[in-house]
Amino acid sequence: MIPINQEGLLFFNIFIHKELFALFLGTVIQPFFILISMSLTSQKLGRTAKIVCSRLISIYSQEESLAIARIIIEEITQSPYLQSVMHAERLLTEQEKNIFESIMARLEKGEPIQYIIGKSWFYGREFMVNPSVLIPRGETEELTDLIIRENEHLNPDSILDIGTGSGAMPVILSLTFPQANVHALEVSPEALETARKNADFHRAKITFHQTDILKAGDDLFSNLEIIVSNPPYVTEEDRPLVPDLVIKNEPHLALFAGGEDPLLFYKAISRLAMHWLRPGGRLYFEINETKGPETREAVQKAGFVEVRLLQDLNGKDRFVVGRRPDQLRG
């Protein structure tokens, strides 16, 4: 006979009674497997950032992944991130998990989070974005801030943004200087439609123009106080330096200078700005960091004075600013 200890005898007695066996299944085994199942399929809100970082490790840096995780958490919960932090132990609902997995699948294929959720943030405000427009960058926020700081005491009455894209910059400038007549020029009809929607959303008064700046006439505008532009400035030489994520997703029309002259748009805009600005009016450019001195020289050759080459927060040449002289050269 096989010896049975006391514990073995207890389980033997349980299993020979069907009623007790059913009770054992219902009270011990079933909850045990439910617990295992929950551990495999449930997801706590507080672990979401860690999951995002681990799944995006081959695409983004840790810092970028954490920023994306914050956006995802706000998107799936439809609540501020700090509120979610306070409920870190809460399990995601089935709907939240489905949204999370849908977003992650697109991120893992290399699609920017801003295009996935259809929005980005610029100067503290939310803007609609899609593949027809560039995702607003921090450097452009710096340029916007520079314009505001240098002109807030002047109360400018007229501003033109050339190559407006999503319209983020003219919206901020219009809200900051409500007395100004703000114009925005864009060649892409799809981008222009996005910019209009953003202006409507923020109730910003902007006049939009669909125009190819390389074909614009000298008399299209006059007596403007400020002209600003972040034109296409990535050259074919720079292409290897641009992240694949940008090349594959963002509009090349807004990225690449095209042709053999990397300063094509800067020269064209500078020439037109001499006609469109009033005496003393200012021209602001965001530029290619590798073409700082050349861009400054092009602006000077167009006739601008007090031309400055300025660096961004990372110490890179990023902005050129010039003033239209009081008297044009003969």
Q: What is the DSSP string of 230-259?
A: ----B-TTTGGGS-HHHHHHS-HHHHB--S
Mean pLDDT (the chain, rounded): 87
| Number of neighbouring beta carbons within 10 Å of residue 147 | 24
Query: What DSSP state is assigned to residue 262?
Result: T
Under the banding of pLDDT at 50, 70 and 90, the label for residue 237 is confident
How many angstroms separate the CA atoms of 146 and 206, rounded? 20
Nearest partner of 291 among 269, 313, 265, judged by Cα: 265
Mean pLDDT over 265-271 rounds to 97
- Residue range 190-236, pLDDT digits in tens: 999 999 999 999 999 999 999 999 999 999 999 999 999 999 988 77
237 phi-psi bin (left φ>0, alpha ψ -120 to 50, beta other): alpha
Which residues lie across from 319 on neighbouring strands? 286, 310
136 CB-contact burial (10 Å; exposed 0-12 / middle 13-18 / buried 19+)? buried
**E strands in 60-200:** 119-122, 125-128, 158-162, 181-186
Assess contact for 159 and 170: CB atoms under 8 A. Answer: yes
Contacts of 216 (CB under 8 A, 6+ apart): 185, 272
Under the banding of pLDDT at 50, 70 and 90, the label for residue 330 is low
Tokens coding 251: 């509009």
pLDDT at 45: 84
Backbone angles phi, psi at 285, to 5 degrees: -125, 140
pLDDT at 149: 97
Mean pLDDT over 14-28 rounds to 42
Q: Is the pLDDT of residue 27 over 70?
A: no
Under the banding of pLDDT at 50, 70 and 90, the label for residue 187 is very high
Assess contact for 118 and 111: CB atoms under 8 A. Answer: no
pLDDT at 85: 82
Assess contact for 49 and 70: CB atoms under 8 A. Answer: yes
pLDDT at 2: 35
How many angstroms separate the CA atoms of 120 and 208, rounded? 21
Alpha-carbon distance values, 275 to 150, 221, 222, 231, 271 (Å): 22, 8, 7, 19, 7
| Number of neighbouring beta carbons within 10 Å of residue 216 | 19
Helix (H, G, I), strand (E, B) or coil at 127: strand
Token pair 């439609």: residue: 193
How far apart are the two ends of the chain, measured CA to CA in Å?
A: 119
Q: Is the pLDDT of residue 98 over 60?
A: yes
Query: 242 versus 258: which is more confidently predicted?
Result: 242
87-91, 112-116, 124-128: which range is least confident on average?
Answer: 87-91
